[in-house]
């Protein structure tokens, strides 16, 4: 045969969102130009070029996505200043509380679709209305047997390995298998990550009209969470100086005081008089004076502070030996039946099981034992010349048993310059708290607060029946009208599992979700759109592990309003595919209001968020690609609960209208990659975040920061060698925590780190 040259970009290396069908928003095969939402598609190529390993890394590739650290292991990203949902091939993939859970497993992921704003009528509403991330999993190979083996080694004893293989079983069937493992230490002291993940997939096509795709994941986690550095001050952020000192608490005296303590004025401390301990100090017991540590609620720790000192950025709040474990099992079956050219039926069934155990001696205890759910969604997709309709029924059932004990959480009492082996509340005569801590059944030595008091502990069941319809009408060659609606019938049964009488309550509510959009095609490859979305969500009824709480103050019933917190979005945008679709531009402005009620308090927060987003993808040939993103977000919230870490001196007062903490107003990222014919390629990524508050009061401010990453790759016929460098200029950057802990936690981000990946393809 004569020699010929292929100049087109292979699909697996395409970074242009117009290069492939897209169904994450409405469940129909749409051209992204016609979808009236701001969407980012992240390819496998981009994931590899800058070593995406966490939901925190999405901020490097899209606008408006900046996630707080959530103890160093967030399970959900944040979008537009609000926690976002996580989907697996179009179905909600896990249930969590405040986005905190097991780390995200990328072993099964082929590409990522990021959608800004709440889920549509097809997916249904949830407490996470900032947006959603749809993970598209690896598919079997029908074009031949192939696979790869890779090993990664890196800074601070990073060690990872993967095996990925697949191929046809017959003309009708093919498989895919992938395994990844990790046994790594890390930038912070006493950190480790020992994870294993197995993914398998099978596609069966017995006829041209029917396909079933089955995939399953088993993941096992053993890792340490990362609270970061406590006792946050502006001096720590600006100069790396840490405030020293240990508690000078009095010994408890239950003969004189009902809760054992008095305040500085001699008044008895009770739940109605939450105050710092007064009275004479007890003798110092050990380097942390751990014998006298109190919960912080209702008796706050009294600390005698010493001088400030330089603190290593590798330090963090942890007792050596503390760890977290988890298991997650998922299975999914997607069946597609083409009845006629105008009717397709899809059934998407998904089941997930999660068990977690975290015990941090400083102190936080969380047990999910277990949380599981099953979901089945059937979609009837009608396609006519002038309209498309996706209508169907979603059925879901979940069960959760979860316990936590955050009422005893004195994070700011510990001094990181002292011996951290004594960072242990189990040494304290005040632990467990006799008024809030109850033993967890089946877990000796573990304690939790009852679910009526803390709104998180729960033994719950929830069932959803959700009919939906989502349609697009082509009014003319230029105008399209998109409208969808869904009405979920949600029934919950909740038992409080710790109190002797095991209070029980149930509730049934109707949860609406509807959206409408108008799309105007400027040209066949450009559009302008306006979108409105209105929904209710269960933000006030989701407890630990994604279970259901929402008790009234008396603990006799579930409070209906907790299940119906409102969210409203208005979005205007425009999209352009230029230069024969070698450039894709996306611009959007949005205004979103939502109400959030925490189950752990009576505080109702109102969020008002406005912003602008701009994104560009450029790929003129198989050698070069680049992406740019910028977002401006003005996010305000009414006063929300914020912990002082058990030490009253760290409480910062708030007014009624605060800038959302842990969110930069300005965010910029850029990625460029170039490949040569001789096998070499280079890539570079830049991320700039504007200043952001670490707490609601704005007394702790993280300044503007930047990070530059890069990679160099050499490819041969079967071998690939890649060197990734992150934070090349060794910036001393910080990351904010979950907003609740802004006065008690901040994470020092790693300095320069490198990793070498060697991959063999067969």
- DSSP letters of 135-177? EEEP---SS--EEEEEEEEETTTEEEEEEEEEEESSSSEEEEE
Asked whether the beta carbons of 67 and 56 are under 8 A apart, the reply is yes
How far apart, in whole angstroms, are the C-alpha atoms of residue 89 and residue 137?
A: 7
Closest CA to 140 of 41, 209, 212, 198: 212
How is residue 730 written in tokens? 């060794």
Could you list the beta-strand ranges (E) of 538-665. Answer: 565-578, 583-597, 604-618, 624-637, 658-659
3-state secondary structure of 475: coil
Could you list the beta-strand ranges (E) of 43-172. Answer: 78-79, 82-83, 85-88, 91-92, 109-116, 131-137, 146-154, 158-168
- DSSP letters of 659-676? EPTT--SEEEEEEEEEE-
Closest CA to 566 of 593, 585, 584: 593
pLDDT at 54: 85
How is residue 162 written in tokens? 């993967």
Per-residue pLDDT of 140-185, as tens digits, reads: 999 999 999 999 999 999 999 999 999 999 999 999 999 999 999 9
The pLDDT of 503-529, averaged and rounded, is 96
pTM: 0.93
| Whether residue 700 has pLDDT greater than 50 | yes
Q: What's the sign of the alpha-carbon dihedral 136, 138, 140, 142?
A: positive
Per-residue pLDDT of 611-656, as tens digits, reads: 999 999 999 999 999 999 999 999 998 867 788 999 988 877 666 6
pLDDT at 149: 98
| Whether residue 6 has pLDDT greater than 80 | no
pLDDT at 651: 77
| Whether residue 725 has pLDDT greater than 90 | yes
- pLDDT-derived band at 420 (thresholds 50, 70, 90) equals very high
Per-residue pLDDT of 649-684, as tens digits, reads: 887 766 666 899 999 999 999 999 999 999 999 999
| Whether residue 312 has pLDDT greater than 60 | yes
Asked whether the beta carbons of 666 and 62 are under 8 A apart, the reply is no
Q: How far apart are the first and last CA of the chain?
A: 25
Q: Cα dist. 320→191, 225, 361, 421 in Å?
A: 9, 12, 9, 6
Report the DSSP pairing between strands 526-537 and 504-523.
Answer: antiparallel
pLDDT at 599: 61
How far apart, in whole angstroms, are the C-alpha atoms of residue 402 and residue 546?
A: 9
Q: Which domains are delineated in the chain?
A: 11-137 (2.170.130.10), 332-402+449-761 (2.40.170.20)
All residues at 6 or more sequence positions from 410 whose CB lies less than 8 Å from its CB, including other chains: 293, 294, 295, 296, 301, 362, 363, 425, 645, 646, 647
ω into residue 287 within 30 of 0, thus cis?
Answer: no
The pLDDT of 456-483, averaged and rounded, is 96
How far apart, in whole angstroms, are the C-alpha atoms of residue 289 and residue 303?
A: 10
| Whether residue 601 has pLDDT greater than 80 | no
The pLDDT of 532-549, averaged and rounded, is 90
The pLDDT of 584-599, averaged and rounded, is 90
DSSP 262: B
Average of per-residue pLDDT values in the chain: 93
Calculate ∠ Cα 610-611-616, nearest 5°: 160
Closest CA to 471 of 83, 63, 36, 26: 26
Q: Lowest-pLDDT range, 59-73, 195-209, 670-684, 739-753?
A: 59-73
3-state secondary structure of 264: coil
Determine phi and psi for 545, rounding to 5 degrees. Answer: 75, 10
Report the DSSP pairing between strands 705-715 and 719-726.
Answer: antiparallel
Asked whether the beta carbons of 739 and 662 are under 8 A apart, the reply is yes
Determine phi and psi for 732, rounding to 5 degrees. Answer: -95, 75
How is residue 572 written in tokens? 């205007």
Determine phi and psi for 52, rounding to 5 degrees. Answer: -65, 120
How far apart, in whole angstroms, are the C-alpha atoms of residue 14 and residue 684?
A: 17
Range among 32-41, 73-82, 417-426, 543-552 with highest mean pLDDT value: 417-426
Q: How far is CA 694 from the centre of its chain?
A: 18
β-sheet bridge partners, residue 148? 164, 761
Q: Cα dist. 183→194, 665, 702, 757 in Å?
A: 4, 37, 32, 15
The pLDDT of 260-276, averaged and rounded, is 93
How is residue 108 written in tokens? 């099964």
All residues at 6 or more sequence positions from 582 whose CB lies less than 8 Å from its CB, including other chains: 16, 618, 619, 620
pLDDT at 8: 67
How far apart, in whole angstroms, are the C-alpha atoms of residue 185 and residue 167?
A: 35
Q: Report the chain's C-alpha Rg in angstroms.
A: 26
How is residue 215 written in tokens? 């995939």
Q: Lowest-pLDDT range, 102-111, 211-220, 383-392, 709-718?
A: 102-111
pLDDT at 650: 85
pLDDT at 407: 84
Give the rounded percent of residues in the chain with a pLDDT score beyond 90.
Answer: 79
Burial classification of residue 59, based on how many CB atoms lie within 10 Å of its CB (0-12 exposed, 13-18 middle, 19 or more buried): buried
- DSSP letters of 326-359? EEEEEEEEEEEEEEETTEEEEEEEEEEEEEEEEE
DSSP 647: B
**Please, what's the largest Cα pairwise distance for the chain?**
98
Q: Which residue has the higher pLDDT, 45 or 716?
A: 716
| Whether residue 445 has pLDDT greater than 90 | yes
pLDDT at 4: 43
Asked whether the beta carbons of 532 and 517 are under 8 A apart, the reply is yes
Q: Lowest-pLDDT range, 81-95, 141-155, 200-214, 518-532?
A: 81-95
């Amino acid at each position: 045969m004569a020699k010929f040259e292929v100049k087109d970009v292979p699909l697996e290396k395409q970074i242009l969102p117009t290069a492939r069908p897209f169904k994450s928003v409405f469940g129909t095969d749409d051209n992204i130009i016609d979808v009236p939402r701001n969407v980012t598609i992240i390819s496998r190529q981009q994931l590899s070029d800058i070593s995406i390993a966490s939901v925190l890394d999405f901020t490097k590739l899209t606008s408006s996505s900046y996630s707080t650290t959530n103890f160093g292991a967030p399970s959900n990203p944040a979008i537009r200043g609000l926690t976002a949902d996580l989907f697996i091939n179009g179905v909600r993939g896990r249930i969590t509380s405040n986005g905190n859970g097991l780390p995200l497993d990328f072993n099964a992921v082929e590409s990522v679709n990021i959608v800004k704003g709440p889920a549509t009528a097809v997916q249904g509403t949830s407490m996470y209305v900032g947006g959603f991330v749809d993970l598209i999993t690896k598919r079997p190979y029908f074009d031949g047997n192939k696979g790869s083996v890779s090993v990664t080694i890196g800074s601070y004893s990073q060690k990872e390995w993967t095996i990925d293989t697949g191929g046809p079983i017959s003309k009708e069937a093919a498989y895919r298998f992938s395994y990844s493992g990790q046994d790594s230490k890390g930038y912070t002291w006493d950190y480790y990550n020992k994870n294993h993940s197995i993914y398998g997939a099978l596609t069966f096509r017995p006829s041209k009209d029917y396909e079933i795709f089955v995939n399953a994941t088993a993941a096992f986690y053993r890792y340490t969470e990362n609270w970061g550095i406590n006792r946050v001050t502006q001096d720590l952020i600006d100069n790396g100086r840490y405030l020293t000192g240990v508690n000078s608490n009095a010994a408890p005296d239950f003969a004189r005081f009902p809760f054992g303590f008095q305040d500085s004025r001699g008044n008895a401390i009770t739940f109605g008089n939450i105050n710092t301990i007064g009275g004479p100090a007890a003798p110092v017991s050990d380097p942390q004076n751990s014998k006298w540590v109190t919960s912080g609620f209702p008796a706050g720790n009294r600390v005698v502070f010493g001088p400030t000192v330089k603190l290593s950025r590798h330090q963090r709040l942890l007792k050596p030996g503390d760890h977290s474990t988890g298991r997650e099992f998922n299975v999914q079956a997607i069946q597609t039946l083409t009845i006629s050219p105008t009717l397709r039926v899809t059934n998407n069934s998904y089941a997930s099981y999660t068990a977690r155990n975290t015990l941090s001696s400083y102190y936080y205890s969380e047990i999910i034992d277990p949380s599981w759910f099953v979901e089945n969604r059937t979609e009837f997709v009608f396609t006519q010349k002038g309209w498309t309709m996706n209508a169907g029924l979603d059925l879901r059932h979940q069960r959760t048993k979860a316990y936590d004990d955050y009422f005893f959480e004195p994070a700011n009492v510990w001094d990181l310059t002292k011996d951290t082996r004594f960072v242990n509340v189990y040494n304290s005569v005040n632990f467990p708290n006799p008024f809030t801590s109850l033993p967890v059944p089946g877990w000796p030595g573990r304690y939790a607060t009852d679910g009526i008091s803390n709104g998180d502990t729960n033994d719950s069941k929830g069932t959803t029946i959700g009919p939906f319809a989502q349609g697009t009408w082509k009014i003319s060659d230029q105008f399209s009208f998109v409208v969808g609606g869904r009405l979920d019938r949600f029934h919950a049964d909740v038992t409080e599992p710790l109190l002797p009488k095991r209070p029980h309550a149930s509730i049934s509510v109707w949860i609406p979700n509807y959206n409408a959009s108008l799309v105007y095609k400027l040209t066949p490859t450009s559009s302008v759109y306006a979108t409105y979305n209105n929904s209710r969500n269960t933000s006030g009824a989701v407890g630990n592990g994604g279970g259901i709480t929402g008790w009234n103050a008396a603990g006799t019933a579930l409070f209906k309003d907790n299940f119906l917190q409102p969210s409203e979005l208005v979005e205007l945008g425009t999209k352009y595919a230029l230069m024969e679709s070698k450039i894709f531009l996306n611009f959007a402005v949005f205004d979103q209001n939502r109400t959030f009620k925490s189950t752990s308090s009576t505080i109702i927060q109102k969020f008002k968020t406005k912003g602008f987003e701009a994104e560009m993808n450029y790929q003129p040939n198989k050698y070069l690609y680049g992406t740019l993103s910028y977002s401006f977000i003005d996010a305000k919230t009414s006063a929300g609960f914020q912990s002082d870490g058990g030490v009253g001196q760290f409480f910062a007062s708030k007014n009624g209208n605060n800038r959302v903490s842990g969110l930069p107003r300005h965010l910029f990222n850029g990625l460029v990659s170039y490949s040569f014919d001789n096998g070499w390629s280079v890539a570079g990524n830049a991320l700039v975040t504007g200043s952001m508050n670490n707490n609601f009061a704005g007394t702790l401010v993280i300044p503007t920061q930047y990070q530059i990453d890069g990679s160099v790759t050499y490819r041969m016929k079967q071998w690939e060698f890649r060197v990734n460098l992150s934070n090349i200029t060794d910036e001393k950057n910080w990351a904010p925590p979950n907003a609740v802990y802004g006065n008690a936690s901040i994470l020092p981000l790693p300095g320069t780190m490198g990793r070498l990946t060697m991959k063999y393809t067969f």
